[in-house]
Amino acid sequence: MNYCESPHQKTLVLSHSEIIISMRYNLIKCSCGFSFGSTKSQNNYCTKCGSTSNLKYIESFDNADLLARAISFANIPDEISDELISKIKEKESKIQTRRANNDTILGGLSILKKATDKEGNLTKSSLDKFLSEEGLEDSSSEYLIGQAEVQGFLIRINENTWNWLS
């Protein structure tokens, strides 16, 4: 922040970064039903109908990305908003389920690796012993080995022994 002095006036000069840091991003709703964004606190106008009156301040955001998302949601037509929100939640739920399943698979692989002997062999009995020692009796060694086999991580050597493919 600098001051610019001339014989007739004293002006406060803000740097570009000071302006950006102090900038607020406002969500404004017009009486026509359209929502838009603005960085000004006054003299706003609707970007759809051009109105400068009956504008309502809704919320302020720290960055433009958050404002853009809020504008998108605010301008969803009422007729489809419930359906769209439902689909968004369903998609987010599927993503969370996939992440949880991925964590389970990776956790299962970790357990299988720990139960593998120095020669790289995994046996059902070594996995059962490891699961018992770790207090994971509820986990099925057959299921864990089967999943790793189906996904191409293990190959069966004989009836009770598997080797890692990678």
Calpha distance 67→43 (Å, rounded): 19
Is 128 inside a domain boundary?
A: yes
Question: Which residues, at least 6 apart from 36, have a Cβ–Cβ distance to it below 8 Å?
Answer: 27, 28, 30, 46, 47, 48, 71
Q: Which domain holds residue 143?
A: 100-164
Nearest alpha carbon to residue 131 among 108, 102, 97 = 108
159 in a structural domain? yes
Which runs of consecutive H residues, i.e. helices, occur in the chain?
Answer: 16-22, 64-74, 78-114, 124-133, 141-150
Residue 25 banded pLDDT, cuts 50, 70, 90: very high
pLDDT of 147 reads 85
CATH number at residue 154: 1.10.10
In a domain, residue 90? The reply is no
- Is residue 31 assigned to a domain? yes
32 with 51: CB under 8 angstroms?
Answer: yes
Q: What is the mean pLDDT of the chain?
A: 80
Q: What is the pLDDT of residue 132?
A: 82
Residue 67 has pLDDT above 90, yes or no: yes
pLDDT tens column, 117-153 = 988 889 999 988 888 887 776 678 888 888 888 888 8
State whether 157 and 106 are in the same domain.
yes
| Statement: residue 46 has pLDDT above 70 | yes
Q: Are 73 and 108 contained in the same domain?
A: no
Asked whether residue 2 carries a pLDDT value surpassing 80, the answer given is no
* 137 contacts: CB under 8 Å, gap ≥ 6: 131
Domain count, the chain: 2
